[in-house]
C-alpha cells in the first residue's frame, strides 16, 4: 500500500470522486430498468400471446428485475460510503495538491546530487 505513496493517494482521490458517480449512474440505470419493466408488464396487460410468448415475456421481466436488484444492492452498500465521502469532499483540492507535491518531490529525488563542502577530493566519487 505504501510502496508508492503517489499511487495510494491517487487511488484515494479516485475513490472519493468515482463512488458518487457510480451511485448516480446506478440510480439512473434503476429508473430505466423500472421503465423497461413497466413496458413489459403493459405488453402482458394489453396484448394477446401464446404460452411460449408469455414465458418469454416472463423471463424478460425476471432478467430486468435481477439487473435492477443487483444495482439496488450495490447502491445500498455505496450509500454507506457516500456518508463519509460527502464529509471528505471539501478536502479533495488538498488531496490534489498533495499528489502534485508528491510528484515534484519524486522528480527532485531522481536528480538529487550532493556537492562536497570540505573534501573536494571526494566529489568525483559522488554519483
Q: What is the pLDDT of residues 62-93, one digit of tens each?
A: 999 999 999 999 999 999 999 999 888 888 88
Share of the chain above pLDDT 90, in %: 63
Confidence at residue 2, expressed as pLDDT on a 0 to 100 scale: 64
The pLDDT of residue 126 is: 82
pLDDT tens, position by position, 36-60: 999 999 999 999 999 999 999 999 9
d(CA 34, CA 68): 8
Q: Among residues of the chain, what percentage have pLDDT more than 70?
A: 98
Closest Cα partner for 71 from 107, 108, 33? Answer: 33
Of 58, 69, 59, the C-alpha closest to 34 is 69
* Measured distance CA(112)–CA(40) in Å, rounded: 67
Sequence-ordered list of residues with C-beta below 8 angstroms from that of 10, at least 6 positions apart, any chain: 99
Give tens-digit pLDDT for 6-15.
888 898 889 9
Asked whether the predicted pLDDT for residue 119 surpasses 70, the reply is yes
Mean pLDDT of the chain: 92
93 φ/ψ angles, rounded to the nearest 5 degrees: -60, -40
| Domain segments of the chain as ranges | 1-91
DSSP letters along 6-50, please? HHHHHHHHHHHHHHHHHHHHHHHHHHHHHHHHHHHHHHHHHS---
Cα–Cα dist 118/125, whole Å: 14
In this predicted structure, the answer to whether residue 111 has a pLDDT above a threshold of 90 is no
Which of 96, 86, 104 shows the shortest CA–CA distance to 10? 96
Question: Taking 80 as the threshold, does the pLDDT of residue 127 lie above it?
Answer: no
Per-residue pLDDT, 1: 59
Amino acid at each position: 500500500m505504501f510502496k508508492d505513496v503517489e499511487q495510494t493517494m491517487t487511488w484515494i482521490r479516485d475513490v472519493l470522486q468515482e463512488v458518487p458517480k457510480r451511485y448516480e449512474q446506478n440510480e439512473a440505470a434503476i429508473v430505466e430498468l423500472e421503465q423497461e419493466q413497466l413496458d413489459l408488464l403493459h405488453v402482458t396487460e394489453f396484448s394477446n400471446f401464446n404460452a411460449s410468448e408469455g414465458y418469454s415475456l416472463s423471463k424478460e421481466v425476471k432478467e430486468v428485475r435481477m439487473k435492477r436488484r443487483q444495482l439496488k444492492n450495490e447502491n445500498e452498500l455505496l450509500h454507506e460510503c457516500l456518508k463519509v465521502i460527502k464529509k471528505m469532499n471539501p478536502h479533495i483540492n488538498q488531496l490534489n495538491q498533495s499528489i502534485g507535491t508528491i510528484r515534484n518531490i519524486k522528480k527532485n529525488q531522481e536528480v538529487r546530487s550532493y556537492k562536497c563542502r570540505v573534501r573536494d577530493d571526494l566529489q568525483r566519487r559522488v554519483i
